[in-house]
Amino acid sequence: MLFGKPVALRRCFPMMRVDYIRVPGREWVPHPDRRFDTIDLRDPLLRLVRRAQAAILDDLPKGFALEEGDLQRQDKPAIPLRVIREALVNALMHRSYRSHSPVQIIRYANRLEIRNPGFSLKSQDHLGEPGSQLRNPKIAAALYDTRLAETKGSGIRVMRESMEQAGLTPPLLESDRSNDQFVARYFFHHFLGAEDIAWLAQFKDLQLSEDEAKALIMVREAGALNNGTYRELTKVDTLTASQSLRRLRDAGLLTQKGRGSATYYVPTDRQVGR
């Protein structure tokens, strides 16, 4: 997987690839007449990280900065380069290679999502804390030794700090044990900006807390929200998250789907303004 030739990789690990998918708009809408732009990337891991990074950078919105004393501007991607690299390394290093599914990078109009097979062996509540639990220790060792990965256990903390320094929402991480999947979402803007506050004004009669306001923005941006993502967004405990989500549901702003640990919420017609 680290050094194999393409023919050998196809024969031994046919689903060890990265799919880069560009979706118009903010939601995944399966429709037979609507085709997505897709790039299939196959390579040994040490080369695959760089190819996937190049695919993302070619497509991300870019701003520019002109530092004091410089004569030439520098183009900067909407998501910091360090975050992109660490996100890709995490996905390829921690994915389950027993699962016959590719890593998916989905580029929406407002965010980047990276989905890899294999839930996090580390509890979602402890992501970002020192130390790591490795599913693929030999792959991890090679990525550390080649300096593609951060110091052990520090990658998520580095991503959060880099996004905050860039004025962006911290990455939202969701470990889904039931579907054996890990999802990381990286938004191109910070929540509760001027546009978001203006949109939330229509719900002022509900006296929403800041956390509930963030949840509504998240549902508007991503199309769905569950308890784990609410906790990641607001840093509250499971019980508090459940109470807030039920309050938004009872207020007619969210519709509850699924049951038990598979419960999630989608926007109602009132939330989307229909």
* pLDDT tens figures, 106-137: 999 889 999 999 999 888 777 777 777 889 99
In angstroms, the CA 66 to CA 70 distance is 6
* Predicted local confidence at residue 18, as pLDDT: 95
Residue 27 confidence (pLDDT) above 50: yes
pLDDT tens column, 178-202: 889 999 999 988 777 788 888 889 8
Per-residue pLDDT band for 256 (boundaries 50, 70, 90) equals very high
* Predicted local confidence at residue 209, as pLDDT: 92
pLDDT tens column, 43-77: 999 999 999 999 999 988 876 655 556 556 667 88
User: What is the arithmetic mean of pLDDT over 88-107?
Assistant: 93
| DSSP secondary structure, 13-68, as one string | -TT--EEEEE-SSSS----TT-PPEEEEE---HHHHHHHHHHHHHHHS-EEEE--T
Both tokens assigned to 9: 């990789």
In angstroms, the CA 259 to CA 131 distance is 33
**Helices (H), ranges, 146-263:** 155-165, 194-200, 210-222, 227-234, 238-250
Which amino acid is residue 269, in one-letter code? Answer: D
User: What is the arithmetic mean of pLDDT over 232-258?
Assistant: 92
Decide the pairing of beta strands 111-117 and 103-107.
Answer: antiparallel
Query: In 164-202, which positions are buried (b, 16+ CB within 10 angstroms) versus exposed (e)?
Result: eebebbbbbbbbbeeeebbbbbbbbeebeeeebeeebee
User: What is the arithmetic mean of pLDDT over 226-247?
Assistant: 90
Show the domains of the chain with their CATH numbers: 6-187 (3.30.565.60), 194-272 (1.10.10.10)
Both tokens assigned to 209: 């807390």
In angstroms, the CA 264 to CA 250 distance is 14
DSSP lists the bridge partners of residue 183 as: 115, 174
Per-residue pLDDT band for 274 (boundaries 50, 70, 90) equals very low
User: What is the arithmetic mean of pLDDT over 150-177?
Assistant: 83
